[in-house]
Structure 1
Amino acid sequence: MNRRAPRRILYPRHDARRTGRLRVSELHEIFWEESGNPDGLPVVALHGGPGGGSSPEMRRFFDPERYRIFLMDQRGCGRSTPHSELRENTTWDLVDDIETLRDHVGVDKWLVFGGSWGSTLSLAYAVTHPERVLGLVLRGIFLVSKAEIQWFYQNGAGRLFPDAYDRYVAPIPEAERGDLLMAFHRRLTGDDKQARLDAARAWSRWEGETLSIKGPVTTPPRFNEDDFVDAFARIECHYFVNRGFFAHDTWLLEECSKKLKNIPGVIVHGRYDVVTPLSTAWALSKAWPKAQLHIIPDAGHSSMEPGIVDKLIQATDDFAAIYAEKAGA
């Protein structure tokens, strides 16, 4: 009788060894941290959203004995300042910030790890600076296409979560619901503070209620809740209205097919991911032959679903083993 191997779990909690703030423009300053082994395999882990901020839990996807782990809060969120700022806040600004951080900490090449929007940003960085990328470990693939935005924020996911969808659209009058993205954008960038907060809460709750097949995911406790949802909703909506700041709808996928030919990668995606449907990961895997796609049959979008944790840690363990073997050769 074949027994299934136990699933891998997160590495134990550990603290950052050092933290810093990096001035990346006259307006923006980003927060970053380093943990793990200073002689280990360098990895930069990119949070989701955009606007979500990094979390100490992100360190736990890497063996601290084998990895030199970098986290950063992207512009306008987490501990970066100014908070919730939309000016000078585009995908290409963030790509430049990653490269500025890499140079600042003295890393030549690193593994890039990201989920959801973090997967988008990881791919955008990799196609811009492929010479700096050892490999990619990605979860919940999202390419900011019109179809993806329409599915989750307009007409699609709401058919599976009609109760949560009603709470999501509640701040928007019936007459404006034909284009929910723009209706939310008007409120999230408007002068009415209460309307902005109501919209931010509804927007953020909608994602939280659909992330996991286990049930709603709450706001991370490390932030003031209203501050968190304001940055999260405003920055997400800003990026989605601008279609990720990509040249056209399929630009990123096309660039991946050209620029990632020699970069190894692992893609982990939940079968029942409602936020970023599996079809996007499937399309990416076909455009990027060096990537291994793992479809998790009992998972949604959350990085904390057991099957997703298992495969992500298998991937980071495998990359660390390959790095150690090459270093010892």
Structure 2
Amino acid sequence: MDGAFPSIAPYRSGFLDTPDGQQIYFEESGNSAGLPVVIVHGGPGASTQPYRRRFFRSTVYRIIGFDQRGAGHSRPSGVLERNTTAYLLDDIEVLRKYLGIERWVVFGGSWGATLALCYAQRYPEHVQALLVRGTLLGRARDLEWFFGAYGVASILPEAYQRFLAPLPPAARDRPVSAYVDLFTSGARDIRTAAAAAWAHWEASVAYGLFCKKAGYAPEPRLGAQAPDRYAIAAMYAHNGFFLEPECGALHDTRNLSDVPGFIIHGRLDLVCPVENAITLHQAWPKAELQVIEEAGHLDIEPPLVAALVAASEAILSCCHSHR
């Protein structure tokens, strides 16, 4: 990944027991005495990724990753009960306390940005800085853009038809709830086919413009956990991300008034339109807004990599006491 810091391995990993019996996987990399940064992954239902450590200089950052409940290495896998946005925020706070951190930098992209924003509004006293990329605001309009017939589907109609293909014709006007039915059917072949179709739609939108430039096709690799992963994604979408439909993640933005940070967004983002970043900046003017003209949604795109690395370095400057 050009422009990022060298790859590093965790110096510690383990599981955090939550009060309700979940086991949350976490890992730490970099400098154990450095400025703490927690990386909040997207999805919902995805997992922490090693390459994201490379956005942060490992000699000065204590880099913390974790898998949200039900996702990645966390146990039990694919759990849908007691899996809501509120539970995820509680898990992040329990992790902070467990690691003995008073204040940390919070970084997230896409759904991870949604959670990062919600966490910062709930616990601003524990957020030293906030870095969000390709922000999903989690409003009803965002769901309609991604899953409805007249949003991004109008730009990628062929991929959208493939997304609808596994669904009964009578259910295609409500694809998210229809996918929830498939994922909860119990039949593994049905769940696996549903995961493949859902994953292809996500990849088609996320890679839509970038993959043509980069020269590769948006066919995702599906592992054994794919049905669990996309069942979580469908469940969250079906429940409106457990957020208010009008404001989504922007529910208590006055609590961000003293939180410094960066809003980084690709102009060509088809998953989360750039309007999201503009709206967020209006609610959080203390942040620095950077719209990256030749970039889409993915944080592997070179212009976004460069912007994220520069932002992480700038955050070090504003948190100079940790150098």
Instruction: Determine if the TM-score, normalized by the shorter chain, exceeds 0.5.
Output: yes
Residue of structure 1 equivalent to 2:214? none
Distance 2:303 2:161 in 1: 30
Distance 2:186 2:322 in 1: 56
Unaligned runs of 5+ in 2: 212-216
Distance 1:26 1:261 in 2: 33
Equivalent position amino acid for 1:165 in 2: Y
**DSSP-derived class of the 1:48 partner:** coil
- Change beyond 3 A, Cα 1:160–1:117: same
**DSSP-derived class of the 1:21 partner:** strand
Residue of structure 2 equivalent to 1:281? 277
Mapped contact 1:113–1:137 kept (Cα < 8 A): yes
- Change beyond 3 A, Cα 1:267–1:46: same
Q: Which moved more, 1:313-322 or 1:62-71?
A: 313-322
Distance 1:130 1:144 in 2: 20
Distance 2:322 2:177 in 1: 51
Question: Which residue of 283, 307, 312 corresponds with 1:311?
Answer: 307
Q: Which moved more, 1:50-59 or 1:230-239?
A: 230-239
Residue of structure 2 equivalent to 1:194? 189
Distance 1:47 1:301 in 2: 14
The correspondence of residues 67-78 of structure 1 with structure 2, limited to 5 A, is: 67-78=61-72
**By how many angstroms is 1:98 displaced?**
0.7
**DSSP-derived class of the 2:232 partner:** helix
User: Could you give the per-residue CA deviations for residues 19-49 of structure 1, whole angstroms, max 9, x where no partner exists?
Assistant: 0101114441110000001111100000000
Give me the CA root mean square deviation. 1.6
Unaligned runs of 5+ in 1: 1-6
Question: Which residue of 35, 54, 63 corresponds with 2:29?
Answer: 35
TM, length-normalised to structure 2: 0.94
**By how many angstroms is 1:11 displaced?**
0.8
**DSSP-derived class of the 2:114 partner:** helix
Residue of structure 2 equivalent to 1:4? none
**DSSP-derived class of the 2:39 partner:** strand
Question: Which residue of 245, 252, 256 corresponds with 1:255?
Answer: 252
Question: Which residue of 92, 95, 98 corresponds with 1:101?
Answer: 95
Equivalent position amino acid for 2:276 in 1: T
The correspondence of residues 204-223 of structure 1 with structure 2, limited to 5 A, is: 204-212=199-207, 213-215=209-211, 216-217=217-218, 219=220
Distance 2:129 2:83 in 1: 26
Distance 1:293 1:327 in 2: 24
Mapped contact 2:138–2:248 kept (Cα < 8 A): no
TM, length-normalised to structure 1: 0.92
Equivalent position amino acid for 1:290 in 2: K
User: Could you give the per-residue CA deviations for residues 129-182 of structure 1, whole angstroms, max 9, x where no partner exists?
Assistant: 110000111001111111111111122111211222122111012211111111
Residue 142 (structure 2) pairs with residue 148 (structure 1): yes
Equivalent position amino acid for 1:229 in 2: A
Q: How many pairs does the alignment contain?
A: 316
Residue of structure 2 equivalent to 1:45? 39
Residue 285 (structure 2) pairs with residue 301 (structure 1): no
The correspondence of residues 126-275 of structure 1 with structure 2, limited to 5 A, is: 126-155=120-149, 156-212=151-207, 213-215=209-211, 216-217=217-218, 219=220, 225-256=222-253, 258-275=254-271
Equivalent position amino acid for 1:152 in 2: F
